Homo-oligomer: A and B are copies of this chain.
Amino acid sequence: MKKKDMSKQAKIQDAVAAIILKEGPAGVSTTKVARRVGIAQSNVYLYFKNKQALIDSVYQRETQRIINTTALAALADETVALPERIRMYVQQVYDYSLAHPDSLTLLQQIKSLKGQGMELTVGADDPNNVVVRLLTAGVTAGVLKPLPVNLFMSLVFAVIHTHTTNVKNGLTSSTAVNFDTLYPLIWDAIRLG
Q: Which residues of B contact A151 (CB under 8 A)?
A: 159, 162-163, 166, 182, 185
Q: Interface majority SS on A: helix, strand, loop or mixed?
A: helix
**Interface size (A, Cβ < 8 Å)?**
47
Interface set, chain A 127-180, CB cutoff 8 A to B: 145, 147-148, 150-151, 154-155, 157-159, 161-163, 165-166, 168-169, 171-172, 177
A189 and B155 in contact (CB under 8 A), knowing A118-B108, A150-B166? yes
**Would B109 and A112 count as touching, CB distance under 8 A?**
yes
**Would B23 and A115 count as touching, CB distance under 8 A?**
yes
**Would B154 and A115 count as touching, CB distance under 8 A?**
no
Copies of this chain in its oligomeric complex: 4
Pick from B112, B166, B182, B190: contact of A24, CB below 8 A: B112
The distance in angstroms between the C-alpha atoms of A73 and B6, with both chains bound, is 56
The distance in angstroms between the C-alpha atoms of A182 and B109, with both chains bound, is 27
The distance in angstroms between the C-alpha atoms of A155 and B157, with both chains bound, is 9
Q: Which residues of B contact A161 (CB under 8 A)?
A: 154
Pick from B105, B147, B162: contact of A177, CB below 8 A: B147
**Would A154 and B150 count as touching, CB distance under 8 A?**
no
List A residues at the B interface (Cβ < 8 Å).
20-27, 105, 108-109, 112-115, 117-119, 145, 147-148, 150-151, 154-155, 157-159, 161-163, 165-166, 168-169, 171-172, 177, 181-182, 184-186, 188-191
